[in-house]
């Protein structure tokens, strides 16, 4: 388990990217591609001018600091917020930062229903103010074989769900992202949205959901989430591949049967329900044995590192899967 | 005196000028990339962006290469065919950068991983085959070898048709989801190939 302590010293200054640095980095390069492109080779020209506004919109949060793990180097904030998979806003890695800035995240309600004694709808912003938020510095491993280390701010999913008193029939938890084609271009257009059947849905087994490492995150780097990272509330399950971390959640339903999950529906032979980080089970099209860590520094400082079973959280979570064949239940 | 001087006076200089544009057009995005990487404009994970940019650029260049001879026919402007050689060589240059970026930056020159990925992942093997063919085409585009090879040169260089198809296939299979974008590229490729179906048939005949 992670050890929490209330009066924790701040993160080392050198691990936090100063705002001025990443704001200035964004402000360049637009029309270049048009002039240069041979047969339209300008596709890369992506500068999120809208990202300015969003940075201003992010609010500072009150939270308990996590104890920094000396083995973990944080991914700079600008990389965390400019390299995202959020197909509702496009399939390119910089599309979400570019296209999501007008997402209306306030007000936002989250409904909890299904196999619970006390179903209900909560005001997420009120929830943020009323809950003791804590920082969790987690490794994040994408199924595409890259990884980050992100200081999330949030609260334990299990404690949150307990308030609604799950019944004995609650065996799984199903999550759903906002469905709003007007605000989400990927839901309007199949090309933009990468062919996913929207709304995006995800799921966990109840014991996975109740595990203290599973959190609902409302912020990163001390501030509320930017839209591209799943504002205002998203799931973070650090021992699973990133796509399990469903973003901009509007509904949580406790259910008796294993719920459908988006990537599994699209490509069942490539993405399973469990999606535990597992270096021993390759994706059909690439190796999962190692990963590219996205840390500080430029292109040539990229380093490839070994992927850890359960993304390094095996000690805490391996017992959830005893007697399960993880090759079969990938 | 030169008869062509009157009718075709502008034809050759224009082709030379266009050739210059090809070089500029194919090199400029690379210069931009060099700048963008240093300035940090490729997003949080420049590696993947870079690899995709180079890969897609290669496919676009391949299609452009295939567009030249139909265009020359259509415009009755044979000199345009001069562009095929520089374009073809740029295809190889972009493909080489794409492949090198994957080996160096994505896999960090981990040779055993590179080897196993090449063998295990069909789409990578397809891309690699396309690159090998381009390598052969690039080497044999040296004028000396061209002359030496005679008829065989044409036989070998017909393989560009195969490269285009392999490249589109490689793109399609490399995607995590979605098929519309690669389908568009493949569609354009098939159109360009269909246009020259006669010469392709002749090329296949010549191989027998």
Predicted confidence pLDDT, tens digits, chain B (208 residues):
444 445 568 888 999 999 999 999 999 999 999 888 877 677 777 888 899 999 999 999 999 999 999 999 999 999 999 999 999 999 999 999 999 999 998 888 889 989 999 988 899 999 999 999 999 999 999 999 999 999 999 999 999 999 999 999 999 999 877 788 999 999 999 999 999 999 999 999 999 8
Indicate the domain borders of chain A: 13-321
Q: What is the pLDDT of residue A302?
A: 73
> Distance between CA A32 and CA A103 in Å, rounded?
28
Q: Which of residues 38-97 of A touch B (CB under 8 A)?
A: 38-44, 46-47, 75, 78-84, 87, 91, 93-94, 97
Q: What is the pLDDT of residue A175?
A: 98
Q: What is the pLDDT of residue B70?
A: 95
CA quadruple A312, A315, A319, A322: dihedral sign: positive
Please indicate whether, in this complex, the C-beta atoms of B176 and A194 are within 8 angstroms of each other.
yes
Q: What is the pLDDT of residue A303?
A: 82
> Is the bond leading into A107 cis (omega within 30 degrees of zero)?
yes
Residue A321's alpha-carbon distances to A169, A208, A308, B78, in angstroms, are 20, 10, 16, 69
Q: What is the pLDDT of residue B145?
A: 94
Residue B185 Rama label (left phi>0; alpha psi -120 to 50; beta):
alpha
**Interval A269-314: pLDDT, tens:** 999 999 999 999 999 888 999 999 999 877 777 788 999 999 999 9
Q: Which residues in chain B touch residue A42, judged by CB atoms under 8 angstroms apart?
A: 29
Q: What is the DSSP letter of B1?
A: -
pLDDT band, residue A48 (cuts 50/70/90) = very low
- Say if residues A234 and A155 touch (Cβ distance below 8 Å): no
Q: Which of A3-7, A199-203, A288-292 has the lowest mean pLDDT?
A: A3-7
Please indicate whether, in this complex, the C-beta atoms of B45 and A286 are within 8 angstroms of each other.
no
Q: For testing the chain A interface, which of B178, B180, B182 should be mutated: the one with the most A CBs within 10 Å? A: B178
**Interval A136-151: pLDDT, tens:** 999 999 999 999 999 9
Q: Which residues in chain B touch residue A287, judged by CB atoms under 8 angstroms apart?
A: 113, 116-117, 120
Q: For testing the chain B interface, which of A27, A28, A34, A39 should be mutated: the one with the most B CBs within 10 Å? A: A39
> Distance between CA A305 and CA B108 in Å, rounded?
10
Q: Which residues in chain B touch residue A78, judged by CB atoms under 8 angstroms apart?
A: 44
Distance from CA of B10 to the nearest CA of A (A): 24
Indicate the domain borders of chain B: 9-207
Q: Which residues in chain A touch residue B41, judged by CB atoms under 8 angstroms apart?
A: 25, 28-29, 47
- Which CATH superfamily includes the segment(s) A13-321? Oxidoreductase, molybdopterin-binding domain (3.90.420.10)
Distance from CA of B49 to the nearest CA of A (A): 8
Q: What is the pLDDT of residue B6?
A: 52
Please indicate whether, in this complex, the C-beta atoms of A298 and B176 are within 8 angstroms of each other.
no
ipTM of the complex: 0.71
Please indicate whether, in this complex, the C-beta atoms of B45 and A146 are within 8 angstroms of each other.
yes
Calculate mean pLDDT across residues A205-220.
Answer: 98
């Amino acid at each position: 388990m992670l050890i929490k302590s209330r009066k924790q010293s701040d993160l080392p200054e050198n691990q936090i990217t100063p705002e001025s640095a990443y704001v200035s980095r964004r402000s360049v390069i637009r029309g270049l591609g048009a002039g240069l492109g041979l047969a339209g080779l300008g596709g890369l020209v992506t500068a999120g001018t809208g990202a300015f506004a969003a940075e201003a919109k992010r609010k500072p949060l009150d939270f308990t600091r996590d104890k920094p793990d000396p083995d973990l180097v944080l991914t700079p904030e600008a990389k965390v917020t400019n390299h995202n998979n959020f197909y509702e806003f496009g399939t390119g890695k910089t599309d979400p930062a570019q296209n999501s800035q007008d997402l209306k995240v306030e007000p936002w309600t989250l409904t909890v229903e299904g196999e619970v004694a006390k179903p209900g709808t909560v005001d997420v912003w009120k929830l943020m103010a009323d809950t003791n938020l804590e920082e969790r510095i987690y490794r994040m491993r994408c199924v595409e074989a890259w990884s980050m280390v992100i200081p999330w701010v949030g609260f334990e999913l299990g404690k949150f769900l307990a308030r609604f008193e799950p019944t004995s029939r609650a065996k799984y938890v199903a999550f759903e992202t906002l469905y709003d084609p007007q605000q989400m271009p990927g839901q309007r257009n199949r090309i933009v949205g990468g062919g996913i059947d929207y709304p995006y849905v995800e799921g966990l087994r109840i014991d996975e959901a109740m595990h203290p490492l599973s959190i609902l995150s409302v912020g990163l780097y001390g501030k509320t989430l930017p839209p591209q990272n799943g504002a205002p509330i998203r799931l973070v399950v650090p021992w699973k591949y990133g796509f399990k971390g469903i973003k901009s959640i509007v509904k949580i339903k406790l259910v008796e049967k294993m719920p459908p999950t988006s990537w599994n529906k699209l490509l069942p032979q490539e993405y399973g329900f469990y999606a535990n980080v597992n270096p021993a089970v390759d994706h059909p099209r690439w190796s999962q044995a190692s990963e590219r860590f996205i840390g500080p520094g430029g292109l040539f400082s990229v380093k490839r590192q070994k992927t850890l079973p359960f993304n390094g959280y095996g000690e805490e979570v391996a017992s959830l899967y005893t007697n399960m064949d993880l090759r079969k239940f990938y | 005196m030169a008869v062509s001087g009157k009718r075709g006076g502008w034809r050759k200089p224009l082709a030379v000028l266009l050739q210059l544009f090809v070089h500029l057009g194919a090199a400029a995005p690379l210069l931009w990339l060099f700048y963008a990487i240093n300035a940090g404009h490729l997003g949080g994970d420049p590696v993947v962006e870079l690899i995709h940019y180079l890969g897609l650029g290669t496919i676009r260049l391949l299609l452009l290469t295939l567009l030249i001879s139909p265009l020359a026919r259509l415009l009755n402007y044979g000199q345009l065919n001069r562009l095929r050689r520089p374009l073809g060589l740029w295809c190889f240059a972009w493909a080489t950068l794409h492949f090198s970026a994957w080996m160096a930056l994505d896999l960090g020159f981990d040779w055993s991983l590179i080897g196993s990925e090449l063998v295990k992942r069909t789409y990578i093997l397809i891309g690699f085959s396309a690159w090998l063919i381009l390598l052969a085409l690039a080497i044999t585009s040296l004028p000396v070898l061209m002359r030496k090879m005679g008829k065989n040169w044409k036989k070998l260089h017909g393989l560009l048709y195969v490269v285009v198809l392999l490249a589109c296939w490689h793109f399609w299979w490399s995607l995590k989801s979605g098929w519309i974008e690669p389908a568009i590229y493949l569609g354009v490729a098939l159109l360009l190939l269909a246009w020259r179906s006669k010469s392709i048939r002749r090329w296949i005949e010549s191989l027998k």
